[in-house]
Amino acid sequence: MDRYGDYLFRYAMLRLRDRSAAEDLVQETFLAALRGRSSFSGGSTEATWLVGILKHKIADHFRRQSREVSLPDGDPTSKPEDDPFNVAGRWGTGPTDWGGNPADLFRQKEFLDHFMECLSRLSPNHANAFTLREIEGADSDEICKILNVSETNLWVILHRARMSLRRCLESRWFDRSRKEGS
């Protein structure tokens, strides 16, 4: 626990955005590892083995959470004028220029703090779908099974999550960055 606890906790926090759930899943991971230590063949490092267990625990958590969500996803306060697309389906006003490589921005702690805050503002279903797809790298079939949604619904959820994240980051990070650079 001393060797891998902090690493597993950070891994879980990035994906779950909930301290209590992350702590619980890390504990469950260590318990599962203790129970299954005889099945560890040594074909990978202990850290890799523990992360694999944690990934399954996180997927189970998302499955449970998707069954518990009672309200449909969507922002009831969203107005048509919030739509960044025009009637022809083209960008009305294009996305803000990120001013660099998004991967480099993601490594900046301040940006990551804003990103995590924006991610936490999404509905659980949107945040879980985005996290599974973009952070975990899960494929559509796997995400659909975990979240119990159709593939068409998944694409809608991902689109809405990305648009919400874009709006949030543009107002919290990129507008601020442009003002500081002026």
Residues 63 and 84 in one domain: no
Residues 86 and 15 in one domain: no
Query: Is 125 a domain residue?
Result: yes
Cβ-defined contacts of 51-56 (< 8 Å, 24+) = 51/8, 51/11, 53/29, 54/8, 54/11, 54/12, 54/25, 54/26, 54/29, 55/136
pLDDT at 141: 94
Q: Assign residue 18 the CATH number of its domain.
A: 1.10.1740
Q: Give residues with Cβ within 8 angstroms of 22, minimum separation 6.
A: 9, 12, 13, 16
Query: Is 75 a domain residue?
Result: no
Query: Is 74 a domain residue?
Result: no
Q: Identify whether the C-beta of residue 105 lies closer than 8 Å to the C-beta of residue 95.
A: no
Question: Based on the structure, what is the number of domains in the chain?
Answer: 2
- State the greatest distance between any 2 C-alpha atoms of the chain, in Å, as a whole number: 61
The Cα–Cα gap between 11 and 32 comes to: 17
Residues 32 and 85 in one domain: no
Query: Is 73 a domain residue?
Result: no
Tell which residue, 30, 32, 18, has the closest CA to residue 64.
Answer: 18
What would the pLDDT profile of 73-122 be if each residue is shown by its tens digit? 444 444 444 666 667 766 666 666 656 666 666 667 777 788 888 998 99
User: Which one has a higher pLDDT value, 22 or 64?
Assistant: 22
User: Which one has a higher pLDDT value, 2 or 83?
Assistant: 2
Residues 95 and 168 in one domain: yes
Residue where a domain terminates, one of 29, 45, 68? 68
What would the pLDDT profile of 14-52 be if each residue is shown by its tens digit? 888 889 999 999 999 999 999 998 888 888 889 999 999
Residues 57 and 110 in one domain: no
The conformation of residue 79, written as its DSSP 8-state character, comes to: -
Banded model confidence at residue 161, pLDDT cuts 50, 70, 90: very high
Residues 93 and 10 in one domain: no
* Six-digit token string for 79: 């107005």
Residues 140 and 54 in one domain: no
Instruction: Give the position of tokens 């990934």.
Output: 55
Residues 113 and 159 in one domain: yes
Q: Is the pLDDT reported for residue 180 higher than 60?
A: no
Domain that holds residue 54: 5-68
The Cα–Cα gap between 150 and 147 comes to: 9
Residues 34 and 60 in one domain: yes
The Cα–Cα gap between 59 and 116 comes to: 19
Residues 121 and 53 in one domain: no
Residue where a domain terminates, one of 45, 68, 91? 68
Q: Assign residue 109 the CATH number of its domain.
A: 1.10.10.10
Residues 58 and 98 in one domain: no
Residue where a domain terminates, one of 68, 99, 121? 68
